[in-house]
Structure 1
């Protein structure tokens, strides 16, 4: 898959997933532009390709900046969003709701500037929460804009992502722009911050937290998906989907928080401390995993990284780039702020 001679914009390109995507696009020969306000991203995330990308700093909710960022672009990957882990989206619903304005401004300026292909980073939070109490793999058609009661998204963040999909579909219908939406399921990996589950658990272990705090009873499950697999799905969707069809990017395995904690301490070669299960904390839905049939059929995509492989890469990155004493002293702040 080559993007040679294409001018590609990645919004949120200095962020966790965005920076990995930027690196892959550079490797594939694209001329890459990044637009980011650095509210959660960092220019250090782009260190490996800083001399090969064009960086625009600004707020994409401002029309003039979005218009400037999308001018002269062939392909757009729209990842910019106000987001965080479960604690963040539960405590800052209004912040997350502003994503609806952000998405529409980016899509409208992109279409007006002649962008040919748009890929939107959506979320598993678009799925109805009431069907995630038991282990039932989520299929794309479990969300519907055509049936009464066909949508019941997960908090303001999920509703905003769902409206982003609807908006992009509308731009496709009216203007004919090639479009795709990738529903990302619990991504993790190097460069992610501590407000997200995997990095939060690694940070607590690294800091020697005792008793070790786990939100909920630890038996809630997610399909933790390594960032390289997410990036692969985004690239394939941009290449192969044109009609705004949404597609899942996630593993089909149910992995409990307790399983992750055990795997972290096992890799770090340490005995797990006493556990403090904090059942008063927000934990989201009980079970979540993706049905990847559509991704396999439309993209030829399936995840390649196991939890063990992904955790090893992530733990190695975290311990090499974070000072243990700093993490210990600032743990609570790191866990709750973007």
Structure 2
């Protein structure tokens, strides 16, 4: 019998890219799912496949009364709601990202008040120190410490807010004995993601036949692009198996350069630009990022099931089917920079 069968589950930010995939998985597993979202970046259409099988409440989780309503009669909370976007967004809107600290604590406080059994927090690879990501070394969870002086050095305000979200959640575990888990998500991509993130941004530019084709940086910076279904499986397994807030990475261990990702997209679309414009003045984030997944393998029996090539093909199929080429061409700049 499924762990989730008959479980009353709240997914905050459930209309988002990752959230909507998680909601579908939970419905399939037999859960009674409530989605709380303010639809600032999430879209009702993301939930179209399960809209008749879930409850949706719309509002701002930074407002205590709404968070209280959303967490009422809930067994498990998956907390994904956040103000965030791609690298351009988090560089440009640090104050927006800082509000996540208030949002997280209000969700935790109301969940504790309403007797929620467990909370799983969607954290980020942005919690890791930036200075250790200039060379290729896989990030493991112990590279962040709340116990050692100088043990934290997160990536921009967004990363600090995620780190504080982790620490606050551990405090709720300590004080209220709520089961808690934390998943540090690494560079997720997949169907329903918007164009402010690298993979879908590249797809939009290729689909619009942008030439010269623009790549932020020199194209040799790496990320461990992780397919969304691998991420949502890690979230479910963390909620099932971890109770004390121990963080686990959900990412692939392969370093993928931006140039490699773009080549996969060009190959699949059977199109290559005549010129590539490397924009070294744009925000690029850290130089290299990939996950050490030893802890996830040990605690969750989790490892990624999708290769980058498979994931990009799946995402491109979705993108081409759901986006009109002329619309993307005309609105490319807006799509690339808005949440």
TM range, smaller chain: over 0.9
Partner Cα separation in structure 2 for residue 125 and residue 97 of structure 1: 14
> 1:318: Cα distance to partner?
0.4
Partner in structure 2 of residue 22 of structure 1: 23
Partner in structure 1 of residue 68 of structure 2: 67
The 8 Å contact of residues 3 and 240 in structure 2, kept in 1 or not, is answered as no
In structure 1, list runs of 5 or more residues that go unmatched. none
Q: Equivalent residue of 2:85, what SS?
A: coil
Q: Equivalent residue of 1:238, what SS?
A: helix
Q: Equivalent residue of 1:183, what SS?
A: strand
Partner in structure 1 of residue 185 of structure 2: 184
> 1:272: Cα distance to partner?
3.6
Q: Equivalent residue of 1:125, what SS?
A: helix
Partner in structure 1 of residue 291 of structure 2: 290
> 1:2: Cα distance to partner?
2.9
Q: State yes or no: 1:206 paired with 2:207.
A: yes
Partner in structure 2 of residue 172 of structure 1: 173
Q: Equivalent residue of 1:51, what SS?
A: helix
> 1:271: Cα distance to partner?
2.4
Q: Equivalent residue of 1:89, what SS?
A: helix
Partner Cα separation in structure 1 for residue 235 and residue 274 of structure 2: 38
Q: State yes or no: 1:46 paired with 2:83.
A: no
Write the deviation string for residues 105-147 of structure 1: whole angstroms up to 9, x where unpaired. Answer: 0000001100001000000000000000000000000000000
Q: State yes or no: 1:254 paired with 2:229.
A: no
In structure 2, list runs of 5 or more residues that go unmatched. none
Partner in structure 2 of residue 241 of structure 1: 242
Write the deviation string for residues 217-250 of structure 1: whole angstroms up to 9, x where unpaired. Answer: 0000000000000000000000000000000000
Write the deviation string for residues 163-182 of structure 1: whole angstroms up to 9, x where unpaired. Answer: 00000000000110000000
Runs of 4+ in 1 over 6 A off after TM superposition: none
Q: State yes or no: 1:311 paired with 2:312.
A: yes
Partner in structure 1 of residue 158 of structure 2: 157
Instruction: Quote the RMSD (CA, aligned, Å).
Output: 0.5
Q: Equivalent residue of 1:50, what SS?
A: helix
Partner Cα separation in structure 2 for residue 278 and residue 270 of structure 1: 21
Partner Cα separation in structure 2 for residue 251 and residue 73 of structure 1: 32
Q: Equivalent residue of 2:181, what SS?
A: strand
Q: Equivalent residue of 1:213, what SS?
A: strand
Write the deviation string for residues 56-93 of structure 1: whole angstroms up to 9, x where unpaired. Answer: 00000000000000000000000000000000000000
Partner Cα separation in structure 1 for residue 276 and residue 10 of structure 2: 44
> 1:5: Cα distance to partner?
1.0
The alignment's TM-score, normalised by the length of structure 1, stands at 0.99
Partner in structure 2 of residue 10 of structure 1: 11
Partner Cα separation in structure 2 for residue 189 and residue 33 of structure 1: 23
Q: State yes or no: 1:36 paired with 2:24.
A: no
Partner Cα separation in structure 2 for residue 319 and residue 157 of structure 1: 31
Write the deviation string for residues 250-303 of structure 1: whole angstroms up to 9, x where unpaired. Answer: 000000000000000001111243100000000000000000000000000000
The 8 Å contact of residues 251 and 289 in structure 1, kept in 2 or not, is answered as yes
The 8 Å contact of residues 262 and 272 in structure 1, kept in 2 or not, is answered as no
Q: Equivalent residue of 1:284, what SS?
A: coil
Q: Equivalent residue of 2:259, what SS?
A: helix
Partner Cα separation in structure 2 for residue 42 and residue 263 of structure 1: 28
Q: Equivalent residue of 1:291, what SS?
A: coil
Partner Cα separation in structure 2 for residue 60 and residue 197 of structure 1: 28
Partner Cα separation in structure 2 for residue 113 and residue 168 of structure 1: 16
